[in-house]
Amino acid sequence: MIVFTYNYWLVGLSVVISMMSAFTGLSLTRGLSMLPLGTRQLRIVMAAIALGGGIWSMHFVAMLAMRFGVPVYYEVIETVASALIAILLAGIALLILHFGRRTRRAIALAGTILGLGIVGMHYVGLSGIAGCLPVYSGFGVVASGALAVAMGVAAIQIAYGKRTERTILLATVVFGASVAVVHFSAMASTRFVAVEVISQTVPLLANAQVALVVLLSAFVISGAFLVSGASFFNREAGLALAAAPALAPAAAPLAASPPVARAAEGQRLPYEKDGKTYLVGFDKVAAIQSEGHYTTAHLAQAAVFCPWSITQAEAAVPPGFLRVHRQWLVNMALVQGFERTKDNGYCLLPPGGSLERVPVSRARLGAVRDALGL
């Protein structure tokens, strides 16, 4: 049985890489509903590569941190396959979240798939080690799998329960920590036996070669992290400025000066696209969704970015809009039906639009039913 030790500087680096990739992947997916289909698809691919590549990089930096006392190598096929598994399952999870109805069941399913990506990548990557033989504990495999799924679901629930900068940062910590926790808990239940590398019929990577590949991956993740961080925090600063018009310069765009009282006749909702501010009549707006310091306005065929907060929007909308949830305002004139569930309900909007139903909180069920004459 091989007794191994750790280089704790590399262990710390592996955790940092995990956190950076988690932040990059989660921040890239923020506000996707406001983007054209092609851009949304590209961002999903980028986020999947960031999350899956970060999982893979964390694993192999942590493997490089291990000191076995014997030469070890990694088979190329298993090493590459482990990266593809992580990226593919991360991509599937993101597709479920951004191209389907985001229900509690969908969020749980996406988190489960993401967690399975973490643990699947770990064991496939570990199976490619040569020079020593990993001996797994059945209990350890099950426990690490359960832990991966639980933390994956928790991270997705936090990140997608309410899409604010605070929840994204908190989900970054949870997801980044989950990758490290799953790796080291799985390793704690794994034993290694020394074996001789007899055959060279399959290509092998030495530690130095793996280190070069991981270094390149970490370099890309660091660059993406810096770009995402700059965009993330600059955007929040801009939104905070828009939410405080008294501090904005006189030449600020129209959308930076939202009304603070009930909208006058003819008032329209501002939204931004391609660096320009447009105006749309409230009769064309089906619903307005809170996204932290800003909102998403759901029109007939598209969801667009509005720089108003939900409070500002509620103060500006004309009669006929109703606050049905702490995150939602709905144009009741466009509601075509109502669905009651056990604990809450849904306002049903015209099919084929950017949004087909809006959740109604339990506390507001009575007001919604009264408004609809039910």
Q: What is the pLDDT of residues 1-47, one digit of tens each?
A: 777 788 889 889 989 999 998 898 888 887 666 566 777 788 899 99
Check whether 161 has a pLDDT greater than 60: yes
* Co-location of 55 and 190 in the same domain: yes
Look over the chain and give the mean of its residue pLDDT values, rounded to a whole number: 81
Q: How big, in percent rounded to 5, are the helix, strand and coil portions of the chain?
A: 55, 20, 25
Residue 342: which residues within 8 A CB-CB, separation 6 or more? none
Average pLDDT of the residues in 345-354: 82
Among residues 206, 239, 272, the one where a domain terminates is: 239
For residue 310, the enclosing domain spans 259-372
Lowest mean pLDDT among 80-84, 258-262, 354-358: 258-262
Residue 343 corresponds to which amino acid?
Answer: D
* Co-location of 53 and 198 in the same domain: yes
Q: Helices 8-28 and 207-242 meet at what angle, rounded to 10? A: 40
101 phi/psi in degrees, rounded to 5: -75, 125
Secondary structure letter of residue 245 according to DSSP: G
**Residue 190 near residue 133, CB atoms below 8 Å:** no
Residue-level pLDDT at 197:
60
Q: How far is CA 122 from CA 81, 94, 152, 185, 333, in A?
A: 11, 20, 15, 11, 52
* Co-location of 68 and 170 in the same domain: yes
Check whether 247 has a pLDDT greater than 60: no
| Cβ-defined contacts of 134-141 (< 8 Å, 24+) | 134/190, 134/191, 134/192, 135/190, 135/191, 135/192, 135/193, 136/189, 136/190, 137/189, 137/190, 137/191, 139/189, 140/185, 140/186, 140/188, 140/189, 140/190, 141/186, 141/189
* Co-location of 212 and 302 in the same domain: no
Residue with tokens 């890489």: 17
Q: Measure the CA–CA gap between 214 and 59, rounded to whole angstroms.
A: 10
Check whether 253 has a pLDDT greater than 80: no
Q: Measure the CA–CA gap between 281 and 76, rounded to whole angstroms.
A: 58
Average pLDDT of the residues in 122-143: 88
Task: Using a pLDDT cut of 90, give the percent of the chain over it.
Answer: 15
Check whether 88 has a pLDDT greater than 90: yes
* Co-location of 143 and 215 in the same domain: yes
Residue-level pLDDT at 201:
64
Average pLDDT of the residues in 122-147: 89
Local confidence band at 209 (pLDDT 50, 70, 90 cut-offs): confident
CATH number, residue 291: 2.40.50.1020
> Residue 290's beta-bridge partner residues?
295
Q: Give me the number of domains the chain comprises.
A: 2
Average pLDDT of the residues in 288-305: 84
Local confidence band at 226 (pLDDT 50, 70, 90 cut-offs): confident
* Co-location of 215 and 287 in the same domain: no
- Helices vs strands, H then E, count in the chain: 9, 17
Check whether 130 has a pLDDT greater than 80: yes
* Co-location of 283 and 350 in the same domain: yes
Average pLDDT of the residues in 319-340: 87
* Co-location of 93 and 174 in the same domain: yes
Residue-level pLDDT at 352:
74
Question: What pTM does this model have?
Answer: 0.62
For 201-238, the DSSP string reads SS-EEEHHHHHHHHHHHHHHHHHHHHHHHHHHHHHHHH
268 belongs to a structural domain: yes
**Residue 322 near residue 329, CB atoms below 8 Å:** yes
* Co-location of 214 and 337 in the same domain: no
Check whether 175 has a pLDDT greater than 80: yes
